[in-house]
Chains A and B, each alone.
Chain A
Amino acid sequence: MFKRTINGFKTAWKGLSLTVKHLFANNSARKITTVSDSNYFKQLEKGTNTIQYPKQQLPVPEIGRYQLDVEMDDCIVCDLCAKVCPVDCIDIEAIKATEAIGQTSDGTTKRLYAAKFDIDMAKCMYCGLCTIVCPTECIVMTNQYDKTVFELSDLVYEFSDMPPEVAAEKRALFDKQQAEKQAAKLAAMQKKEGGE
């Protein structure tokens, strides 16, 4: 019993001296270094480890896999990203144009308007598949990670800037063109039939 008591005090003292060392070793606040820094793990052994978040931020790589961003000028509305998305967080509504409406920066011809290009970041699992399939590389992941919002619906980012009236107009234009084509086709067929 006597031996065990001595041992108990000895081990308790070991722990107590360890904690008191930490209690008085907190003279330095944490310095912000990147993970790639060779001193990164060594500096955690002394001083406090807390990152005072909004005031201090750990640097992240410039091309981190965080918030999605779409460059709408380069988008050809091919819908590939929406199709490949495992959680279906991208919602695209395309309107066919009556003619080629321009070119992307890499020279691809744009033939579709995006009436809607919504990404629900609440659903997004940050896999990055959409950025891989994009033929024009217009959808990218950025280094923005703090996107706190007060409403859940604020997490749905709308990248298309086309107002609904314009969308309706474009739709009507396309329908009109289709109808004209149909009419022309019909007329041609009738003419052909009449000619025989």
Chain B
Amino acid sequence: MNYYITYFIVAIGLFSFSAFFALFGVYAERKISAFIQDRLGPTETGKFGSLQTLADIMKMIQKELIIPAAADKWLFMLAPAVIFIAVYMGFAALPWGPGLIPSKINLGIYYIFAIISIETLGILMAGWGSNNKYSILGAMRSAAQIISYEIPAGFAIISVVMIAQTLDLQAVAMQQGVLSPEKIKFAGILDVTATGGFLSWNIFRAPHLIIAFVIYFIASLAESNRAPFDIPEAESELVAGFHTEFTGIRFALVFLAEYSMMFLVSMIGVILFLGAWNTPFPNIGPVHLADGTTNMWWGIFWITLKTLGLVAIQMWIRWTLPRFRVDQLMNLCWKVLTPLSFLCMLISGVWRVWLM
């Protein structure tokens, strides 16, 4: 019985975390975009406008839920829930620290990749259900884009999995620090099992994973429909894309899903490539920096810090680069990223056989 209570607490905890992160993320995004464009951003609500997003969500909750007369009622109502739940369930298999993981399943990364593809279904439901030409165009673009970019992202992930030899994210995380059960070599040469720190992160264990990481990062931008890959909601062409017709709390759910997705893909990137919850400080001779900064609380701190760093880079990119055209998008995916990720996979195989 206590088992189930724990489950509920974990689920509610994850939900409140993603909701809190969405509030913080929207505020951060508005401030960052403002400063990049020499503006001030929200300043009036609360100190430095910090309560602005809270006020926004209060407004959203009070708004009327409008279902357009021509909409497909059931698809329209279910879509935001499907979009959000798909992303939210992805959080279940992500490790936060040594021994701290909501659900320790040995298929971790496979499960996450499977469950977040359901989001496409939700977006298609939203687009089709709205019965609006802009929505359906946005949804079609989104589906095409997400399905295409899952291929380079998938192969980039496979090249990590080939190095790590496991799909369990907690095991992948464990391998990249001082707690590693097996021998780690920096760049395939130097034994750093006892040193840990950033030297044992996956991108330094096998340097070709830097390319895999860049590929994964670009593909993850596309998968979370972020600029420069935001053609599904291209404001200048499609009003707001697939969520044009949504109001009130349904719209808020779509937004929540977008920001949770940003955090989720960044966190997967951190776990697979940037040492998960491991500290960046190595043990240097008698100074045991790595041992001192590796435990559950430090784990939560490090993984949050690294993930927020990646999220900040996502925002930075959004407010710098202009939107891709559809053909450029597909060119980049199929002619550049996919071959490169194949190459990474190939190198991973060779690396595993000859250098590890």
Whether A23 and B39, one on each chain, are in contact in the complex, defined by CB atoms closer than 8 angstroms, is no
A residues near B165, Cβ cutoff 8 Å: none
The interface centre, meaning the residue of B37, B40, B320 with most chain A CB atoms within 10 A of its CB, is: B320
Is B327 at the interface (CB under 8 A from chain A)?
no
A63-108 interface with B by 8 A CB criterion: none
Whether B38 and A16, one on each chain, are in contact in the complex, defined by CB atoms closer than 8 angstroms, is no
Cα A15 to Cα B37 with chains together (Å): 13
Whether A22 and B43, one on each chain, are in contact in the complex, defined by CB atoms closer than 8 angstroms, is no
A35-50 interface with B by 8 A CB criterion: 47-50
Whether A22 and B316, one on each chain, are in contact in the complex, defined by CB atoms closer than 8 angstroms, is no
B312 shortest CB reach to chain A, Å: 10
A residues near B316, Cβ cutoff 8 Å: 16, 19-20, 23
A12 touching B321 in the complex, CB below 8 Å, given contacts A1-B335, A22-B35, A23-B316: yes
A residues near B335, Cβ cutoff 8 Å: 1
A1-60 interface with B by 8 A CB criterion: 1, 5, 12, 15-16, 18-20, 22-24, 26, 47-50, 52
B residues near A20, Cβ cutoff 8 Å: 316
Whether B39 and A50, one on each chain, are in contact in the complex, defined by CB atoms closer than 8 angstroms, is yes
B28 shortest CB reach to chain A, Å: 12
Whether B39 and A1, one on each chain, are in contact in the complex, defined by CB atoms closer than 8 angstroms, is no
B20-46 interface with A by 8 A CB criterion: 32, 35-40, 43
Whether A16 and B320, one on each chain, are in contact in the complex, defined by CB atoms closer than 8 angstroms, is yes
Cα A15 to Cα B38 with chains together (Å): 15
Whether A19 and B40, one on each chain, are in contact in the complex, defined by CB atoms closer than 8 angstroms, is no
Q: Specify which of B36, B317, B321, B336 is in contact with A23 (CB 8 Å cutoff).
A: B36
Q: How many residues of A contact B (CB 8 A)?
A: 17
Whether A48 and B40, one on each chain, are in contact in the complex, defined by CB atoms closer than 8 angstroms, is yes
Cα A15 to Cα B228 with chains together (Å): 13
Cα A19 to Cα B319 with chains together (Å): 8
Range of interface residues on B (Cβ < 8 Å): 10 to 19
A22 touching B37 in the complex, CB below 8 Å, given contacts A12-B321, A15-B321: yes
Nearest opposing residue in chain A for B39, CB measure: A50
A residues near B36, Cβ cutoff 8 Å: 19, 22-23
A residues near B32, Cβ cutoff 8 Å: 23
Whether B39 and A52, one on each chain, are in contact in the complex, defined by CB atoms closer than 8 angstroms, is no
Q: Specify which of A15, A50, A52 is in contact with B320 (CB 8 Å cutoff).
A: A15
Cα A15 to Cα B317 with chains together (Å): 9
Cα A173 to Cα B38 with chains together (Å): 67
Q: Specify which of B35, B43, B321 is in contact with A26 (CB 8 Å cutoff).
A: B35
Whether B39 and A48, one on each chain, are in contact in the complex, defined by CB atoms closer than 8 angstroms, is yes
Cα A26 to Cα B35 with chains together (Å): 6
Whether B43 and A49, one on each chain, are in contact in the complex, defined by CB atoms closer than 8 angstroms, is no
A residues near B35, Cβ cutoff 8 Å: 22-24, 26, 48
The interface centre, meaning the residue of A19, A47, A48 with most chain B CB atoms within 10 A of its CB, is: A19
B residues near A50, Cβ cutoff 8 Å: 38-40
B residues near A24, Cβ cutoff 8 Å: 35
Cα A61 to Cα B130 with chains together (Å): 53
The interface centre, meaning the residue of A16, A22, A23, A49 with most chain B CB atoms within 10 A of its CB, is: A23
B303-356 interface with A by 8 A CB criterion: 316-317, 319-321, 335-336
18 contacts across the A-B interface (CB closer than 8 A): A1-B336, A12-B320, A15-B321, A16-B317, A16-B321, A18-B320, A19-B36, A20-B316, A22-B37, A22-B38, A26-B35, A48-B35, A48-B39, A49-B38, A50-B38, A50-B39, A52-B40, A52-B43
Q: Which 5 A-B pairs have the closest CB atoms?
A: A19-B320, A50-B40, A26-B35, A15-B320, A19-B36
| Interface positions of B (Cβ within 8 A of A) | 32, 35-40, 43, 316-317, 319-321, 335-336
Apart from A19-B319, A23-B32, list 5 A-B contacts with CB within 8 A: A1-B335, A15-B321, A23-B35, A24-B35, A48-B39
